[in-house]
Amino acid sequence: MGIPERKEREKEARREEILNAAQRVFFQKGVAVSTMDDIAQAAELSKGTLYLYYHSKEELYLAAANRGMDIMAHMFQDASATTDDPIMQIFRVGDAYYRFFREQRDFFRMFYFYESPEFHAGVSQGMLDQCRQQDQKVWAVVTAPIKRAIDEGLLHPELDPLEVGIMLWSNANGFLRLLDRNESYWKDAMGVDLLQTLRKSSALLLEAMMTEKAQQKYAGMILYKDSPVTEEEKE
């Protein structure tokens, strides 16, 4: 009998319709000022129905944010797959983060909430697990080339991949957040090329962590020179 299967599909479809509506509303109004009534109206459902599919507004937010995390993870994955050179991979992932910032600004802004301390209330265990899973997925893509670079003697062996990842991530994140609020000021008033600035700071960090061997290999690519990262790499 295919009826239970169809019902299951319809239930899943409705769950997704609700999430689509929520995402639209979040993007348009901002998470904090979006109400469940807004979302219900956008979904053409009553508010009560939303709660049959999601336990709380937070959960709906997290589900939407997870979509963004998924997009980001895929962009990182794709960027990393364009080369075999671990140092290049690190740069490419950094570039991908910048591209995510440019192309998925709404999601980028939604992530501001992610680390707000007042979550974990009214959120189901399943959703929390899903979040942790997404976190780990992104983190794995970020740390994998770092670990390889250390193993291959390109970065100093005393370094810990996690530590390096945090440094690069914090650096990029700090930059992009600042950018998000003061874009026009930076770009128009000061004429700063933002992608280059971000790259330069990442390059500085990476160069500092490289072994001599690697510094020779990548000499001239980074640090006060124009970065040829976007050109085809020479293996």
Contact residues: a second copy, CB under 8 A:
30-33, 109, 112-113, 115-118, 156, 158, 163, 166-167, 169-175, 177-178, 197, 201, 204-205, 207-209, 223-224
Should residue 120 be labelled a site residue for DNA when binding is judged by CB under 7 A?
Answer: no
For the bound state, the minimum distance from the C-beta of residue 10 to DNA, rounded and expressed in Å, comes to 7
> What burial letters (b/e) apply to 121-155, b meaning 16+ CB within 10 Å?
eebeeebeebbeebeebbbebbbbbbbbbbeeebb
Q: Which does 7 bind (CB under 5 to 8 A by kind): DNA, a second copy, none?
A: DNA
- Our CB check for a second copy shows the closer of 130 and 171 to be 171
Question: What is the length of the chain?
Answer: 235
Q: Is the dihedral of CA 116, 39, 107, 187 positive or negative?
A: negative
CA dihedral 156, 157, 163, 167 (to 10 degrees): 10
Tokens for 58, please give them: 């937070």
Binding mask 23-62 for DNA (x = CB under 7 A): ----------xxxxx-------xxxxx-xx---xxx----
- Our CB check for a second copy shows the closer of 53 and 209 to be 209
For the bound state, the minimum distance from the C-beta of residue 29 to DNA, rounded and expressed in Å, comes to 10
Integer Cα distance of 147 and 161 in angstroms:
5
- Our CB check for a second copy shows the closer of 76 and 108 to be 108
